[in-house]
Amino acid sequence: MTSHISILGAGAFGAALAVALAVKAPVTLWGRNLGRDRQVARLPGVTLPDAVILTDRLDGATRASTILLAIPAQAIGAFLRDHADALDGRRLVSCAKGIDLSTGQSPARLIAAACPQAVPAVLTGPSFAADIAAGLPTALTLACADSEAGEELQHQLSTPTLRLYRSTDVAGAELGGALKNVVAIAAGAAIGAGLGDSARAAIVTRGFAEMTRLAAALGAQPDTLTGLSGLGDLILTATSEQSRNFRFGVALGRGQPFDPGVTVEGAATARAVAALAPRMQVDMPISTLIAGLAEGRIDVRHAMDRLLARPLKEE
């Protein structure tokens, strides 16, 4: 087994991680449509360095002891089932931020179910692929229930510009990263509809309260969501035009179409949460309304009217 890292998924985030990690050692990057010019379509101006080994052969990419899964959340379950034999027994680090719509499970739980001999971990937190690829300072959460494996991964995946903080609360780290996308869509919808920054601040604050409620009900440590993988990521994605979820929300607020080729994890996560919350008996009004917006069942003005009409309560 080779000692270098493999990254499965050559989209913007996978490619950016390959660029960052290649400063330490060779990295294998697997994707289905890799160009020979070593350019990344979704990272303009970025050229993959020679230390990034490109391959479209999965059998070669799965020989590494540490494999980063830079695959969209809604695709990771099927990918794991299809390739479980090749992946089992490895340290599998999910880079996805979402909840599987068909099962209601997080990526780490999907890893554990498909690959019982693997060590699941999660890499998440406030980051844009372009910043990572450019070598700009970025801090992320590395969550792994196995503390010894987590410490090894922390050292293996940290670079001079990519600083990882370790946690054993995998559920909290994953839920923070997934649920903040839903709130970012809501924040974008408020701005797109012209409701102003005060409305956005209220949505972000109450949205964070929703995130914490659901995470606690699902067994996460609420304090985890006050860190990089929850509050930190929420601040970034609810305020920046670089955020796909925020831009999607802006488009919803303006009643404009959004590029169908851009993955918006928060839309599917909102639908998963809308189904999950009643079963957990957790009140998630913002997430439920975003699910309705994403499916076209309601418009932004109707959604905001419903939020403002809710009974008055203590904070």
Point out the catalytic residue in the list 24, 97, 180, 313. 180
Q: Say whether 52 sits in a helix, a strand or coil.
A: strand
pLDDT digits (tens, 9 = 90+) for 205-240: 999 999 999 999 999 999 999 999 999 999 999 999
Distance from the Cα of residue 13 to its chain's centroid = 10
pLDDT digits (tens, 9 = 90+) for 15-26: 999 999 999 999
pLDDT digits (tens, 9 = 90+) for 110-152: 999 999 999 999 999 999 999 999 999 999 999 999 999 999 9
pLDDT of residue 3: 47
* Contact predicate 92/61, CB 8 Å: no
pLDDT digits (tens, 9 = 90+) for 148-175: 999 999 999 999 999 999 999 999 999 9
* Contact predicate 253/192, CB 8 Å: yes
pLDDT of residue 2: 47
CA–CA distance, 5 with 19 (Å, rounded to integer): 12
Does the pLDDT of residue 193 top 80, yes or no?
yes
Q: Would you call 75 exposed, middle or buried from its count of C-beta atoms within 10 A (0-12, 13-18, 19+)?
A: middle
Summary mean pLDDT of the chain? 94
Return the residue matching tokens 């050692």: 25
Give the domains, in start order, of the chain with CATH numbers. 5-168 (3.40.50.720), 171-308 (1.10.1040.10)
pTM of the predicted structure, to 2 decimals = 0.94
Catalytic: 180? yes
Q: Checking DSSP bridges between strand 138-143 and strand 119-124, what pairing results, if any?
A: antiparallel
pLDDT of residue 134: 96
pLDDT of residue 216: 97
